[in-house]
Amino acid sequence: MLKNLKNRFSRPLNILLLMGLSACGISDAAVTLPDPATDIPLAKAVATQTAVFAGGCFWGIEAVFEHVRGVSKAVSGYSGGTAATAKYDLVSAGTTGHAEAVQITYDPSKVTYGQLLKVFFSVAHNPTELNRQGPDTGPQYRSAVFHVDDEQKRVVQAYIKQLQAAKVYPQPIVTEVVLLQAFYAAEAYHQDYVVHHPDQPYIVFNDLPKIANLQRQFPNLYVGR
């Protein structure tokens, strides 16, 4: 995802392995988590809701949530900075305040916000890595939940506290919880990147295992595409 990673796609596989990208990729961080003790109950016939998560390269986050029941849309983009700097080349420098993020549109009668959080913290990324995720480094790859209202804020803060108390990770959770100011969709070539480039080594090592972990750990939430 960093500019130097673009060249990684053409490197021999043995070089990739020497760089630390194992066959399981960063999804080795996937853990089994408890259900959120605090959640927003399933709703009846209401409008779709929005969640915005950041956790490393947006390609993988988007790909995971596109396979979650009740999610109708997942869009890669940028949150945390201004409209003027919401461009990949600028965000990649790590100085814009933006994080690579994914905007998720979901049906709250089919999946709860808490269930989305459980997927996010379990298989979509490793919430204990500070300003990085796997091979990608910099504040643009930080772990963050951009809540849209106080109800989402209450649920995510309670869940982080619950996970910390349960000691499900060997290191502290470093996920930021911040109010969403704006979300800016990324360039068209970033959208559905995993779908269009399933054979690229970066995708094979870092993102496809996340989807496999989703299917294995959340069979009742997983949907094929």
Summarised one tens digit per residue, pLDDT across range 88-139 is 999 999 999 999 999 999 999 999 999 999 999 999 999 999 999 999 999 9
Q: To the nearest whole number, what is the mean pLDDT of the chain?
A: 89
Judge whether 24 counts as a catalytic residue: no
* Buried/exposed 67-92: b ≥16 CB within 10 Å, e otherwise: bbebbeebbbbbbbbeeebbbbebbb
Catalytic entry in 16, 57, 68, 155: 57
| The CATH classification of domain 12-208, taken from the options 3.40.50.300, 3.30.1060.10, 3.90.650.10, 3.90.76.10 | 3.30.1060.10
| Alpha-carbon gap, residue 149 to 92, rounded angstroms | 28
12 pLDDT more than 80: no
pLDDT at residue 200 tops 60: yes
Q: Would you say the C-alpha torsion 193, 199, 203, 207 has a positive or negative sign?
A: positive
CA dihedral (209, 214, 216, 217) in degrees, to 10, reads: 130
Q: What is the pLDDT averaged over residues 52-69?
A: 98
| Residue listed under structure tokens 């029941």 | 69
Instruction: Determine the pLDDT at residue 29.
Output: 52
Predicted confidence at residue 6, as pLDDT, reads 35
- The model carries a pTM of 0.89
- Provide the pLDDT confidence category of residue 25 given band limits of 50, 70 and 90: very low
* Cα–Cα dist 190/179, whole Å: 24
Q: What is the mean pLDDT of residues 27-40?
A: 84
- Give the helix/strand (H/E) hosting 143: strand 143-147
Residue 173 has pLDDT above 90, yes or no: yes
Question: Could you tell me the pLDDT band of residue 46, with boundaries at 50, 70 and 90?
Answer: confident
Share of the chain above pLDDT 90, in %: 84
What is the rounded CA–CA span in Å between residue 155 and residue 51?
12
Average pLDDT of span 185-211: 97
The β-bridge relationship of strands 71-79 and 99-106 is antiparallel
Residue among 174, 152, 153 nearest 163 (CA): 174
Percent of the chain residues topping a pLDDT of 70: 87
Cβ–Cβ under 8 Å, residues 102 and 52: yes
Mean pLDDT value of segment 31-58: 94
Mean pLDDT of 27-39: 84
pLDDT reading at 15 higher than 60: no
Sequence spans of domains, the chain? 12-208
Distance, in Å, from the CA atom of 136 to the CA atom of 156, rounded to the nearest integer, reads 25
